[in-house]
A and B are shown apart, each in its own frame.
Chain A
Amino acid sequence: MKTIIELNINDEVFEMVIEPRTTLLEVLREHLAFTGTKEACGTGECGACTVLIEGKPKLACLTLAAECANTRITTIEGLVHDGQLTPVQQAFLEKGAVQCGFCTPAMVLTATALLEENPNPTEYDIKKALEGNLCRCTGYNKIMEAIREAAKSGESARNRK
């Protein structure tokens, strides 16, 4: 049974026709053009579909769109402001933390949420926050370096000044 719902994605409101079974991931990727959020497993085991809901990293593949009314959803597309990359994005580029790039949007979002909640994370804090994001290309070394670099920058993780 289809219903209409308003979803706030990246500070823009979209009116969507959905079914109960429609996941947020499906809305993002198939109904809208937010293909930066990826589906790599669909069952919550890899983190590639991470989005921020009220600033908290969650898995879009296991989130029903119907449960997202009145929430603020941030996808990777929502991180860039006026064409400027955020400190986390910039650090990922500079440190060589991007190879195939498929895990990258989720990594960047999760790292961003971590630094907003904990601007001075320990190594263990970083690992605990990113433990649900699989990467097959980098071995995580440069991802770790990038997050440490972004933390050092001290700027708000999300917005560049």
Chain B
Amino acid sequence: MSELEYVGKSVPRKDGPEKVTGKALYTTDLRPPGMLTGCILRSPHPHAKILNIDVSRAKSAPGVKAVVTGQDTLGIKHAFVETPRYPPDQYPLAMDRVRYVGEEVAAVAASDLDAAEEALSLIRVDYEPLPAVFDPIEAMDPSAPEVHPNHPKIKESFHNIGGKTESAWGNVEEGFARSHIVMENRFESHLRTHGYLEPQVTLAAIEPNGKLNVWTSSQGPFIKRAKLARTLGLPESSVRVQKTYVGGAFGGKIDLFSHEYCAALLSMRTFRPVKITASREDIFCAYRHGQPLIVEVKTGVRKDGTLEAQQFRVINSCGAYRGSGVVVIFLSWGFAMLPYRVPNLRYEGYAVYTNNPIRCPQRGHGAPQMRFAIESQLDMIAEALNIDPVEIRLRNARHSQEQLPNGDNVHNCGLSDCIREAAGHTELKQKYGRGRAEGSTGRYKRGIGIGVSAYFGGSLIYPNSSSVVVKMNDDGTATVLTGALDIGQGAETILCQIVAEELKIPIDQVQVIAADTETTPVDIGSWISGNAYVTGNAARVAAGEVRKKLLELAAEALEANIGDLVVDEKSVYVTGSPESRLTYQQLLAAGVAKNRGDPVIGEGHWRTMRDEPAHPSLATTKGRWSENYAFDAQVAEVEVDTETGKVRLLRAVTAHDCGFPINPLLVQGQIDGQVSMALGHALMEEVVMENGQTLNPNWLEYRMPCIHNLAPSEHIDVITESFEVGRAYRTKEVGEGYVSAILAAIANAIYDAIGVRLYSTPFTPEKILRGLGKLK
């Protein structure tokens, strides 16, 4: 990668200047003339029949322009997952039943927020409360209240099963019988939430000709357009979802939300723009939380620590509707089988309905929870076998070109190097166990731990592929059209770098137009870890087409063979004769003058696993999942205050196989942010619920890390891929993969420090003191 000018460089973000000057516009900043304010009426009951809704007084209240309930909708359901096996199960507004506190029941558009809220208070809903259930194990019991009937394909006695994933290979019984040690443990990961700074907000404005314009805080406009169009009964060509900057999402803004639908419907009713902004409290209570998981894992290993068999039962409390519950139990299988060779596996996962707000993906989507369980247990096994935690991982780590049991190939895999680098850099082998061996008696005890994880980069979920168009401007600069959406990760910047590299145009002369369903081509969205790989390759292909056309023009103008031409600094010359170069401007002018006069435009399309028809079965895991796998090892050094039980993360080291970093500075930022999220997961964040209600719907008590909790975060790149102009590349995802191993590493480091094994997150001071026998 030696002659690269833009790719692999820490190019400053394209949107940086707008953001530091406050000029960047987010959906919440838009206020078109005539805008109405909308708000939503929510259910106070975790489970109830809706007997009647009387909106008459609300409709005639001052300033109110429209009131809608479920009866005003087309009654078309939507959901995070919409497949034949798992058809959509959510109404945009509740019809005859509510199933969680906060479920959307009605919406109002009025001249201002006061009038809208006043109108809400005038809507009378007659509920008949029903028994509710909140705990997934209780919900599975046949005597539990029914949130929904079982999925029709579930033939078990459990109740409230929204979906199940089952996967097996080999023979786990024989595997366990052969094992030198078998360990069985249960781990629980708790309820958390995303905490994005920009609230959920949507502005919808219908035009007189029936075109619906939507600006919404999302993770990709195309999936929003598809679901809005379908639920509103509009053709997709009439729905335009446009780019605004997004103030963070982390998985919480992917699929259709009621307020988006309601803003659109209310605009269609009033012929005015309607904006609905969720309050921070609403976001904490009634929007989406992350996926809590119970992981029961039984592992058998040979005497040298290599895995012989593993058996999982995973239980997810998906909330009152399926949400992404049936996905997280599929992904959890994936995160179980990815980084290590598991010769015999049996996996079953359940998505269980409970009368709680719907749960959705939260960064990592199952990986943190699974790796916490697996990596903790692996350390326990290593200790029982007297093998060090690095060795046992190296023995099990997958290698390059290994075939996965589902038919995928890991291709280049730097996991072993990651493990060695992370361990070596932190002197883990020397430090691990030392404190416990020395029997140190001080108040503060330090420990070190390691974790391993893997993640996928791109899979086949609607809209499945990305397309990019690159247009040359007359002066030799370029404009890139992409549906990609920046949610903070720097999507536009890296696409710009790729195009700049292919065409040798300076970064500031490549303009990116993004994320508009009407004017930019389709994009897979910023929630499937595919921006760098899928959209990036699409951009490369598009730029490649432009490059080819420019070379053809140059070959003719310079009377040379294409093979003898060099592209450099917005110009082309024959090898050895740079002084006779022709600039792009000249070439383009020549092209217009002669050569059919066609402008130079390139289009590129990319789809992961081009020959696969669809995503693997969520229920059986059969099918190809991804052709791009990222690996990492993370080490945590912690200090435990044995008096108060508080834990400090002293140091986090991430050795990651991301292929190659397109923009190292952006990659580092992703790693830092994920270490911080894992720290929050481990030590301080928890959504506290009681009977379906959230006790801490604010940032005072949902404790996200603040600057005091900054953890020194070091990065080690393990390079396994490369970029070459004109060639497809396989760089790997960096946006979701680093919240997991570090969580496990923290757990393992706590054990190293104080000999207390924690089986559930968060690792609260109380749990630690109880483990030390200092608290009942």
Contact = CB atoms under 8 A, between A and B. Distances in A.
B673 A99 contact: yes
Contacts of A12: none
Given A96-B668, A137-B669, A38 B247 contact: yes
A143 interface: yes
A134 B673 contact: no
B699 interface: yes
Given A98-B16, A133-B707, A89 B247 contact: no
A6 B380 CA distance: 68
SS of B interface (majority): loop
6 contacts: A89-B21, A100-B488, A136-B248, A139-B705, A140-B672, A140-B705
A139 B676 contact: yes
A152 B711 CA distance: 22
Given A38-B197, A85-B20, A92-B20, A140 B29 contact: no
Given A100-B247, A103-B197, A142-B672, A89 B20 contact: yes
Interface in A50-105: 75-77, 79-80, 85, 89, 92-94, 96, 98-105
A77 B196 contact: no
B680 to A, nearest CB: 9
Contact of B24 (A79, A101, A126): A101
A40 interface: yes
B197 A102 contact: yes
Contacts of B12: 93-94
A118 interface: no
Interface string B239-279: 00000011110100000000000000000000000000001
B710 A141 contact: yes
B114 to A, nearest CB: 10
Contacts of A137: 248, 488, 669, 673
Interface of B: 10, 12-13, 15-26, 28-29, 31, 194-199, 245-248, 250, 279-280, 487-490, 665-666, 668-669, 672-677, 698-700, 704-713
A48 B197 contact: yes
A42 interface: yes
Contact of A136 (B23, B196, B490): B196
Given A137-B248, A142-B672, A100 B707 contact: no
A132 B672 CA distance: 19
Given A76-B22, A102-B247, A96 B666 contact: yes
B383 to A, nearest CB: 31
Given A101-B18, A137-B669, 9 more contacts: A35-B28, A89-B21, A98-B19, A99-B248, A133-B706, A137-B248, A138-B672, A138-B676, A139-B673
A108 interface: yes
A48 B487 CA distance: 17
Contact of A77 (B21, B31, B699, B706): B21
Contacts, number: 169
Nearest to A133: B707
Contacts of B195: 134, 136
A101 B249 CA distance: 12
Nearest to B114: A21
Contacts of B712: 141
Q: How large is the interface on A (under 10, 10 to 19, 20 to 34, 35 or more residues)?
A: 35 or more
Contact of B197 (A30, A94, A136): A136
SS of A interface (majority): loop
Q: Report the 3 A-B pairs with minimum CB-CB distance, sorted nearest first.
A: A36-B22, A102-B247, A100-B488
Contacts of B17: 85, 93
B28 A38 contact: yes
A25 to B, nearest CB: 12
A3 interface: no
Contacts of B247: 38, 40, 100-102
Contacts of B675: 139
B446 to A, nearest CB: 20
Nearest to B31: A30
A7 interface: no
A96 B194 CA distance: 22
A46 B711 contact: no
Contact of B20 (A34, A48, A108, A126): A108
Given A37-B22, A41-B280, A140-B676, A100 B700 contact: no
| Candidate in B25, B699, B700 with the most chain A CB atoms within 10 angstroms | B699
Nearest to B665: A96
Contacts of B28: 35, 38-39
Nearest to A45: B699
B669 A36 contact: no
Interface in A111-144: 126-127, 130-144
A29 B20 contact: no
A103 B24 CA distance: 12
